[in-house]
């Protein structure tokens, strides 16, 4: 049995964790956040809660479709069948499709928690700032607060590429591959409002500041109060990356009101979040990166795509790679 460290409790790192644990290894997961999920995170303010990052999972490959069916069978995710609209210059139009969308239960992080249960230990609120291999080839990790963690036979790094670069000073080739991937930001406004029954459950928006809005409480198992997730487009978020928060909130609210012709509506709670590294613009074409000599793999959606499915594929690929190296 090997002892393996995973830096980053996103879907990729946790998928790898579960696969490595199933193969009989002991996995310790580190994340700088208090909880798991990464860009699949949920947010709670007062009585309201929202899926703040990934909104739903869908499958393009047969493998991921099977995985979604399995998680659904376990009750970790459930289908979500929103009334969807598309918003263009022509206005708001119903836009039914036959996409099977799944959401974590009772929020997106339900899925990350399920996967995390396979870890031997979760070291939350721990930002890893340095790592190196000792003379016995074992990995030593150093946290921002000065704590050290050692005794790891292998290492997986599951962070956005910009956050992986400082952790790869020993592997310049991998560092270089990471530096080629650019990530776009995404401003996200979460609202708890009075009931807005005239609106669709979700909408894809073609132009203007917003790209996607969704009624969070139309998803299964959510708190009943009316709650909305408003996600800005990546181009608008890029242009307004450093804009004052009040201005961002004002513009997103104005766009929401204008699209759905809402003159005024009551807001009980809100939260504005800027995802700095939201979506990869130019993902790599391999599913993970690895340094065989060092028993090191790097994974994340940005290796092969820009979705939960890509993260899952990358996590599986990193675990498979390490299992070969450990044999």
Ligand X SMILES: Cc1cc2nc3c(=O)[nH]c(=O)nc-3n(C[C@H](O)[C@H](O)[C@H](O)COP(=O)(O)OP(=O)(O)OC[C@H]3O[C@@H](n4cnc5c(N)ncnc54)[C@H](O)[C@@H]3O)c2cc1C
Q: Is 321 a binder of ligand X (CB under 6 A)? A: no
Given a contact cutoff of 8 angstroms between Cβ atoms, the answer to whether 206 and 87 are in contact is yes
Q: Is 216 in the site for ligand X (CB under 6 A)?
A: no
Q: Is 209 in the site for ligand X (CB under 6 A)?
A: no
**DSSP string for 181-223:** --EEEEEEEEEEES--TTS-SEEEE-SSSEEEEEEGGGSTT--
Q: Does 168 bind ligand X (CB under 6 A)?
A: no
Candidates 9-17, 67-75, 81-89, 169-177; binding stretch for ligand X (CB under 6 A) = 9-17
How far is it, in rounded angstroms, from Cα 151 to Cα 137? Answer: 9
The DSSP annotation for 18-49 comes to HHHHHTT-EEEEE-SSSSS-GGG-EEEETTEE
Which residues, 183 to 202, sit near ligand X by CB under 6 A? 186, 188
- Partners of 203 in the β-ladder: 85, 213
**Segment interacting with ligand X, rule: CB under 6 A, options 78-86, 91-99, 261-269, 303-311:** 303-311
Choice between 79 and 91, CB closer to ligand X: 79
**Minimum CB distance to ligand X, residue 126 (Å):** 6
Q: Is residue 171 involved in binding ligand X (CB under 6 A)?
A: no
In the set 4, 5, 7, 288, which binds ligand X (CB under 6 A)?
7
Closest among 59, 80, 76, 79 to 112, alpha carbons compared: 76
Residues that bind ligand X (rule: CB under 6 A) add up to a total of 38
- Count Cβ atoms within 10 A of the Cβ of residue 143 and give its class: 0-12 exposed, 13-18 middle, 19 or more buried: middle
DSSP letter assigned to residue 306: S
Does the footprint of ligand X cover residue 159 (CB under 6 A)? yes
- Considering beta carbons, is residue 128 or 261 the nearer one to ligand X? 128
56 lies in the binding site for ligand X (CB under 6 A):
yes
Q: Does 308 bind ligand X (CB under 6 A)?
A: yes
Q: Among 16, 57, 119, 253, which residue sits at the site for ligand X (rule: CB under 6 A)?
A: 57
Farthest-apart Cα atoms in the chain, separation: 67
Q: Does 252 bind ligand X (CB under 6 A)?
A: no
- Asked if residue 39 binds ligand X (CB under 6 A), the reply is yes
**How many other CB atoms are there within 10 angstroms of residue 46's CB atom?**
10
What span, in angstroms and rounded, lies between the C-alpha atoms of 259 and 151? 55
Binding site for ligand X (CB under 6 A): 7-13, 30-33, 38-40, 53-57, 127-128, 158-160, 163, 186, 188, 231, 275, 278-279, 300-301, 306-308, 310-311
């Amino acid at each position: 049995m090997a002892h393996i460290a995973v830096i980053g409790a996103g879907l990729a790192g946790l998928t790898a964790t579960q696969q490595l644990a199933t193969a009989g290894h002991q996995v310790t997961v580190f994340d700088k956040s208090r909880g798991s999920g990464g860009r699949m995170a949920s947010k709670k303010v007062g009585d309201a809660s929202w899926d703040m990052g990934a909104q739903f999972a869908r499958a393009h490959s047969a493998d991921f479709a099977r995985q979604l069916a399995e998680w659904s069978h376990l009750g970790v995710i459930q289908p979500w069948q929103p009334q969807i609209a598309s918003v263009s210059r022509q206005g708001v139009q119903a836009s039914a499709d036959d996409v099977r969308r799944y959401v974590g239960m009772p929020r997106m992080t339900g899925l990350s928690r399920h996967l995390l249960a396979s870890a031997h230990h979760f070291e939350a609120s721990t930002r890893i700032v340095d790592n190196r291999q000792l003379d016995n080839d074992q990995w030593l990790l150093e946290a921002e607060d000065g704590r050290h963690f050692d005794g790891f036979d292998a290492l997986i790094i599951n962070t956005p590429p910009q956050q992986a670069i400082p952790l790869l000073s020993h592997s310049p080739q991998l560092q270089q591959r990471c530096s080629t991937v650019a990530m776009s930001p995404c401003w996200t406004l979460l609202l708890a409002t009075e009931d807005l029954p005239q609106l669709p459950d979700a909408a894809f928006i073609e132009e203007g500041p917003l790209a996607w809005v969704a009624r969070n409480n139309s998803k299964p198992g959510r708190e009943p109060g009316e709650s909305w997730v408003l996600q800005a487009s990546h181009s608008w978020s890029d242009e307004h990356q450093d804009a004052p928060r009040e201005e961002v909130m004002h513009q997103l609210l104005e766009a929401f009101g204008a699209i759905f012709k809402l003159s005024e509506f009551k807001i009980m709670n809100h939260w504005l979040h800027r995802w700095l590294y939201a979506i990869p613009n130019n993902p790599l074409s391999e599913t993970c990166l690895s340094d065989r000599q060092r028993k090191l793999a790097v994974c994340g959606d940005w290796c092969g795509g820009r979705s939960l499915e890509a993260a899952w594929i990358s996590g599986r690929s990193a675990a498979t790679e390490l299992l070969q190296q450990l044999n």
